[in-house]
Amino acid sequence: AQTVTQSQPEMSVQEAETVTLSCTYDTSESNYYLFWYKQPPSRQMILVIRQEAYKQQNATENRFSVNFQKAAKSFSLKISDSQLGDTAMYFCAFGGAQKLVFGQGTRLTINP
Amino acid sequence: ETGVTQTPRHLVMGMTNKKSLKCEQHLGHNAMYWYKQSAKKPLELMFVYSLEERVENNSVPSRFSPECPNSSHLFLHLHTLQPEDSALYLCASSQGVTASSGNTIYFGEGSWLTVV
């Protein structure tokens, strides 16, 4: 069974700093997607970014980018120029042949 | 504005009550999901529907009963719940159920359930 591990339960940085959230996963599948979701205090889970496993190029969405290391089964999220609105729970998720598997989340706080 | 709408946003119910959570998606998706989110626990997938057929039921107690009358609507009927069932219940939808095909899941804002 696939597992997703987020080893940082909580993180805190100052506004405008860059922060990296880590995620590792375990799978024997070769075709899959990886996702980062954000859940702000309002509680709606929002897709931040996604990566296709067969693409070597790391996905980027504005200030959000990933470092996808397929061999190491690592999928970290980098947030550049962090903003107060980035304060949220961040969930890494693995999407293979079966259901989406989520990590336990990282609570990120951006301090003014 | 969200493509997945959940009502009610907050619900308090006694252990002997019967209530329902409602979810509607406006994205034209074929798959709908119920997730449970409790404090300090990973998201728990409860039910998956694809084209109104239940395709997954993850050992959820029978006091939770899903209903999917069409591909746009999903209900979660609740009866004789326990206090430990208090949680945030998230509805979600996607175009298909296979995540490896790139089917991104879109979530609603959730329904906070408190069982007293």
> Do residue A97 and residue B100 have CB atoms under 8 angstroms apart?
yes
**Minimal Cα–Cα distance from A73 to chain B, Å?**
16
Q: With an 8 Å Cβ cutoff, are B2 and A44 in contact?
A: yes
What integer pLDDT is reported at residue B51 of this predicted model? 84
Chain A residues near residue B42 by CB distance under 8 angstroms = 102-105
Distance set, CA B55 to CA A40, A56, B30, B112 (Å): 30, 33, 12, 25
Give residue B1's pLDDT: 52
pLDDT along chain A (112 residues), means of 10: 90 97 94 93 88 92 96 96 96 86 94 96
pLDDT of residue B3: 93
Q: Can you read off the two tokens belonging to residue A99?
A: 């259901």
Closest alpha carbon to B17 in B91, B108, B83, B110: B83
Q: Nearest chain B residue to A103 by CA: give it.
A: B42
Successive 10-residue mean pLDDT values, chain B, 116 residues: 88 92 95 90 88 80 94 95 94 84 87 94
Distance from CA of B108 to the nearest CA of A (A): 6
Residue B94 in contact with residue B103, Cβ under 8 Å? yes
Which of chain B's residues have a Cβ under 8 Å away from the Cβ of A102? Answer: 42-43
* C-alpha closest to that of B25 among B49, B3, B6, B50: B3
Q: What is the chain A residue with the closest CA to B32?
A: A99
| A45:B90 CB<8 A | yes
Query: Nearest-5° angle of CA A76, CA A81, CA A83?
Result: 100
Q: Which residue in chain A is spatially nearest to B40 when comparing CA positions?
A: A104
Per-residue pLDDT, B96: 83
Contact assessment for residue A68 and residue A60, using Cβ atoms and an 8 Å cutoff: no
pLDDT at B103: 81
Q: Which of A32, A46, A102 sits opposite B100 (nearest CB)?
A: A32
